[in-house]
Structure 1
C-alpha cells in the first residue's frame, strides 16, 4: 500500500494553516439561483468535500461586478450584500466539519464572454477580437473602469469577511479579464497597464492590495495559465516573470494551470491527455518563486504524492477527482487508497453539465449534487436481489443494493466483470476505466455481494425463480447495418478487436463514433496504418466538445486517414468500397473493424415479461453513456426500498 505522507502533511498558505496538501480545485457547480445566490444544495456539495478531509475547499468563480459586462445568469455572485447569506451558509457548512473555505473571485470574461448587452461590445485589455464572433472587436477598458473593478474586489472582500470566508482565490487563467491584461497577445496598451511585465501585472496587484486592505490578513491565491497552448499565447518562460511579480504583489499561492479558450481541452483535460498532464507548469514556477505552488490537471493521489516528493509542487489541486470521491483524503489517511473511486476523466457530467447550465454531476458517482437527499440506507424489508449483467449499471446496482442491506447475487456471462467497459478500457489513455472496474470489484467483495462470472441466466433459470427482485442490466449488442455486402464475412467487431482479435497492418475502421474513433487512435499508436470511415459529415459528433478537440488533434498527429461523408457499401477480403461525395472509392485494408454502434440486448427483458419484480436498466433499455447506466443502477437499487 503506497504511503501518502506528503499529501497528508500540514501546510501553510499565507496566514492560513492547512491540515493537508489537497485543495479542491475551483470548478463551477451551477447550483446557484438565476440571480447568483448560493443554495443549500451547493452548501451540502461543498460540505461533503470538506467532511472528506480536503485541506481547502475552493468555490467556483464568483462575480464581483456587472459594471463592464453582464453577469451570466446562474453564475455565483458577491456583488451585493444580498449575496452574503448564501456564501456564509457555504462557509458555515464547511466549517461545521472542520474544513477551510476559499472563495474564487473573477473580474469577468472580457473577450471570452458569451453574450453582451444590446448595443454594447465586449470589453478587454485592448481591442481584441471577440471570441464568440471574431468579426467584432472588443472595447479596451478605460482606466476609470479598471479603478471601478478594483474597488469592486475590495467590496467583495468585505462581504467575504462577513461571510466567514477563510481565503480568496483570483481567477487569472483561461484568458479571462485578468489573464487578458497579463498577456502580450491580448494586452497592447501603452498606458500604465500595458507594456512591461510590471505594468501588465499592475491591474492584479491593485486588486490584491484592495482585497488585503478590505480583509486584513486574508490569504490570496491566483490561478495562473502557465502555458496558453496556442501559437502566440503565453509560454512558461514569460509566465515565470509574471509569477515573480505576482509574488511581489502579495499573492500567497499560485495554482499552476494551462490552457485557454483557444486550447479548451487543457482547461478541462480529458483522458487523452494522460496523468498529471500539467505538472510541468508547477515545476516551471517552483523554480522562480518562494510562495507555495499548487499543481493541477488529471492528478491522481499517487501523482500528487510524487510531485510533492520531487519538490515540484507544494500543494495538489484536484477538481474532478474530488467530485468522483469527496472522501479521497480521509481514505488516504485511513490507508484505503484502493477504495478511492477513480475519476474516468470523461467530462460528461461535470464539465458537460456546466456547458448547459445544469448542476454538476459525475459519471461514476451518482450521489454528486444530491448530497441533501438520502442515499443508501438500511432497508426495512431486506430481500434477495439478483442482478443480471456485470457492466457499469449492474455493478453499481449490486453495490447500492448491498449498501441498503439486501442479499445480492450478481451474474455475468463473461469470465470477468466490466461489460462493455472491459474491452473499451484496453487503450492506455483509458486506463482509469479499467481502474473503475477494479474499484467496483473491491467494493462488491467488501459488501459480501456474491459474484458469479461465466454464467448465463435465462428466463427459466432457477436463480430467477428464487429472486425477490431482479435487476436486468444485460447491456447491448453490436449494430449490423443492413445492405452492406460482405459485412458478416469480412469484418472484426470493435469489441472483438479490443478483446484481442488479430488485425493486419492496414486497418479500416468502419464507423466514426466514439468507439470507432478511439479504436482508430489506439491502432495508429500501435503502428497500424489506419483509415477511419464515417457516414456523417464529422467524427464523434455527439462527443463533448472539449474532449473532441483532443481526439481530432490526436488522430491527425497519429496519421489516421479520415473519410467523413462516406458510406460503406461493400466489404471484401481486401478492404471495402465506400460511396462518398465524389462517387465510389475503393479502400484497401488487411482488416475491417466494424464500429457501427449498438442496439439494446432486450431478449431476456422480453422473456421475463412485465413482472413487477423485474427492473431493466442501462443499455438493454436504451444504449447511452456510462454515467447514465451508473445512475440507472443506483436509482433502481434505491427504489427497492
Structure 2
C-alpha cells in the first residue's frame, strides 16, 4: 500500500479524470513574449511538470482584456485570436505526455497594477487609492465596462476550449480586480455591483457563468483568498459567505488561500511561515461548500497527505515544490519520497525573478526555465574530476558532473557535508534547506562519486595530481574587524559556531543584522533568550528578498528581539557591547556576543594553484559570497560544462 494513499488516489474534478489529488498551482512565469503570447520555453516548462505526473497543471494568469488595463510585458494574454497557436501548442504538448492543463484567466490587477499610466488611470471597484502610489485614485469601472470584461471572459474561454485546454481557473484572489469587487474594504458602490454579498459577488458570478456558457464541459475553478491578513481586509466569515455564492454559480472546485498585497508574504509564503500555513483557509471553505476545495501554502508531501487524510481539504495545491522538482508526483508514486528535491521556500529566483519581470528560475533546480537547453547528456570523454569543498556549490557540481559520466572525488575538510548549509539551516523554519544536504547525499550515493571527509586540500596535495578537472568550492571566511577592542574575548563567538551549538548565555547581542545574524537572533529569541541585534546600516536583513523580510521583521518583533539599526559596535567586554548610534553611545548588556559581520571569499587555494600553472574552475562563495541559489545554480553550470 502507498504511503500517500490520499494524494495518489485518482480524482474527478468536473468532467476531468485525474491520476492523483495534486494540482500545480497557478504561478506567473514571465516567459511569454512581450506581446503576451505563449512561447516554446514556457510550454516546455509546463510540459515538464505534466510529464512528472501532476494531476492538473494550472498556468499563470492570462489577461482576457486590454480594454481598460494593459497587461505587464511577459505575462500572457488571450484576448485575441493571436493567442490560439500558443494555446493549442501548450495543450497538445501537455496532452502528449498524458497531462491535463487549466488556463487561469484574469480580469486584471486594478489598484495593484505595477505601473501607473498618467494617460489612463488604474481601474477598480471604487475610487480606491493605488496600492503603491496612494496619491493616485483609481477610476471605478462603469456598468457597461463591467459587461465588456465579462464578455471578454467568455471569448477567452471559447478560445481555450477551441485550443484543447482542459479547464479554466478564474483569478479572484489576493486583492486583484475581481477581489476588489468582492471585498467591502475596496467596494463602496451603491449600484447592483455593491452593497450586499450577493451584489459584490455579481461581477464574479457573471464571469463564472460567461465562462461556463462559452466553454461547455470544461471544469471551472476560482481562487479565493479567505483571510486578507490586514486590518479591514476580508476575514473567514465573509469569505465563507462569498464561497457559497460562487459555488452556487456553477463552480466545479475552488482554491483557498490567504493574503493580499498588504500581507504579501502570505501570497508567496516564505520558510518562516512553516508547513501548511494556509490550510485553515481550506478548512473554512470545506465547512460551507460541497464542491472540492484545494489547499495550498507550503505543502510538502507529508503535510499534504495529512491534510487530505484529515479532511481539511480535498486536493493538494503545490506550486514552488513543483518548480523545485517537476517529478514530485512521479517520485511519490514510485516510492521515492526521499528523492524529491526540497523546495527551500526562499522565493529568491522564482518570485524574486518575477518581481523584476525576469523569467522564473529556482534556487535548487537550475534547469527551471531551461528545460530544453540544460538537458544533461553523457560526456563524450569521461574525466576524473576533483571537487574541493562539500558545500552547496561543490555538491551540485559533483552531482551534475557524475550524472554526465565523470568520476568524481569530493574532498571536504569538515567531518560532514553541507558547508555553510549546516549552520545556516539549524532553525526549524529552515528544515527544508537542511534537507538539501540529505538529498545530495542520496543522489551522489548512486553515482560515481567518492566523498572524502576530514581532508583539507592544499596546493601540493597529492589528491590533485591525477585530476583532469579541478573544481574549487572552498566557500568563504568570516569577517571579524580586528580593530574592535575585546572582539577576541572569551564571551565572543562567531555566528557559525552559534548556529552549530556553541554555549551561549541568556542575554545575547548579535553584532551584524544581515540574514545570517537576523535568522540566528530569531532562533535564539524563540528559544527563550533575550536578544539584541546591533546593525550599522538602517535596515535589518537588507540582503533578504522583501517578501521574506516582511515575515522576518514581524517574527523578530513578536519574539521580542531588540534591534539597534544605524549603530556601530565600538567595543566588547565581559558584560556586553558599546555601540555608537545617531543619538550617541549606548551600552547593551549581554552574556554572549555573536559576531555576524559578513564573509569574504576564500581565494587562497585558487590563487596558489593558478600560480602553479594549474587550471581550476571556481564556484560559489569563493568567487563571490552570495545566496544559496547562486551557489547551486553555479555548481550546476560548472558540472554541466565539464
TM value normalised by structure 1: 0.99
- Give the deviation of 1:612 after TM superposition: 5.7
Secondary structure of the structure 1 residue equivalent to 2:362: coil
1:637 to 620, 635, 639: 639
Secondary structure of the structure 2 residue equivalent to 1:382: coil
- Give the deviation of 1:613 after TM superposition: 3.8
Say whether residues 1:465 and 2:443 are aligned partners. no
The 8 Å contact of residues 536 and 564 in structure 1, kept in 2 or not, is answered as yes
Aligned to 2:284: 284
Aligned to 1:208: 208
| 4+ long deviations beyond 4 Å | none
Hey, what's the Cα distance between the residues in 2 that align with 1:161 and 1:375? 32
Secondary structure of the structure 1 residue equivalent to 2:326: coil
Aligned to 1:415: 415
Hey, what's the Cα distance between the residues in 2 that align with 1:448 and 1:313? 43
- Give the deviation of 1:4 after TM superposition: 1.0
Aligned to 1:500: 501
Secondary structure of the structure 2 residue equivalent to 1:136: coil
Say whether residues 1:568 and 2:596 are aligned partners. no
| Residue correspondence of structure 1 range 315-334 to structure 2 within 5 A | 315-334=315-334
- Give the deviation of 1:515 after TM superposition: 0.4
Aligned to 2:344: 344
Hey, what's the Cα distance between the residues in 1 that align with 2:211 and 2:430? 43
The 8 Å contact of residues 609 and 615 in structure 2, kept in 1 or not, is answered as no
- Give the deviation of 1:375 after TM superposition: 2.0
Aligned to 1:260: 260
The 8 Å contact of residues 367 and 374 in structure 2, kept in 1 or not, is answered as no
The 8 Å contact of residues 23 and 57 in structure 1, kept in 2 or not, is answered as yes
| Residue correspondence of structure 1 range 482-521 to structure 2 within 5 A | 482-489=482-489, 490-521=491-522
Hey, what's the Cα distance between the residues in 2 that align with 1:70 and 1:467? 56
After TM superposition, the structure 1 stretch with the greater mean CA deviation from structure 2, 115-124 or 316-325, is: 115-124
Say whether residues 1:543 and 2:553 are aligned partners. no
Aligned to 1:587: 588
Hey, what's the Cα distance between the residues in 2 that align with 1:176 and 1:227? 14
TM value normalised by structure 2: 0.98
The 8 Å contact of residues 64 and 79 in structure 2, kept in 1 or not, is answered as yes
Residue-by-residue CA offset, 1:310-353 (whole Å, 9 max, x unaligned): 11111111000000000010000000011000000000000000
Aligned to 1:42: 42
- Give the deviation of 1:2 after TM superposition: 7.0
- Give the deviation of 1:481 after TM superposition: 2.3
- Give the deviation of 1:117 after TM superposition: 2.8
After TM superposition, the structure 1 stretch with the greater mean CA deviation from structure 2, 388-397 or 113-122, is: 113-122
Say whether residues 1:98 and 2:98 are aligned partners. yes
Aligned to 2:620: 618
Secondary structure of the structure 2 residue equivalent to 1:470: strand
Cα RMSD, aligned residues only: 1.1
Hey, what's the Cα distance between the residues in 2 that align with 1:448 and 1:275? 35
Aligned to 1:524: 525
Hey, what's the Cα distance between the residues in 1 that align with 2:275 and 2:211? 35
Hey, what's the Cα distance between the residues in 2 that align with 1:436 and 1:552? 26
Aligned to 1:392: 392
Aligned to 1:555: 556
Secondary structure of the structure 2 residue equivalent to 1:133: coil
- Give the deviation of 1:132 after TM superposition: 1.6
Hey, what's the Cα distance between the residues in 2 that align with 1:416 and 1:348? 26
Secondary structure of the structure 2 residue equivalent to 1:134: coil
- Give the deviation of 1:116 after TM superposition: 3.1
- Give the deviation of 1:120 after TM superposition: 2.9
Hey, what's the Cα distance between the residues in 2 that align with 1:376 and 1:210? 45
Say whether residues 1:55 and 2:55 are aligned partners. yes
The 8 Å contact of residues 226 and 236 in structure 1, kept in 2 or not, is answered as yes
Q: Which blocks of at least 5 consecutive residues in structure 2 are unaligned?
A: none
Hey, what's the Cα distance between the residues in 2 that align with 1:385 and 1:338? 27
Secondary structure of the structure 2 residue equivalent to 1:59: strand
Residue-by-residue CA offset, 1:345-366 (whole Å, 9 max, x unaligned): 0000000000011111000011
Residue-by-residue CA offset, 1:536-589 (whole Å, 9 max, x unaligned): 011111211100000000000000000000011111111111110011111111
Say whether residues 1:437 and 2:446 are aligned partners. no
Aligned to 1:449: 449
Secondary structure of the structure 1 residue equivalent to 2:162: helix
Hey, what's the Cα distance between the residues in 2 that align with 1:59 and 1:336? 27
Hey, what's the Cα distance between the residues in 2 that align with 1:102 and 1:588? 58
Q: Which blocks of at least 5 consecutive residues in structure 1 are unaligned?
A: none
Hey, what's the Cα distance between the residues in 1 that align with 2:120 and 2:383? 63
Aligned to 2:314: 314
Hey, what's the Cα distance between the residues in 2 that align with 1:130 and 1:123? 9
> How many residues in Structure 1 have an aligned counterpart in Structure 2?
640
Hey, what's the Cα distance between the residues in 2 that align with 1:14 and 1:185? 33
Hey, what's the Cα distance between the residues in 2 that align with 1:586 and 1:342? 43
- Give the deviation of 1:488 after TM superposition: 2.1
After TM superposition, the structure 1 stretch with the greater mean CA deviation from structure 2, 479-488 or 326-335, is: 479-488
- Give the deviation of 1:287 after TM superposition: 1.3
The 8 Å contact of residues 575 and 589 in structure 2, kept in 1 or not, is answered as yes
Aligned to 1:300: 300
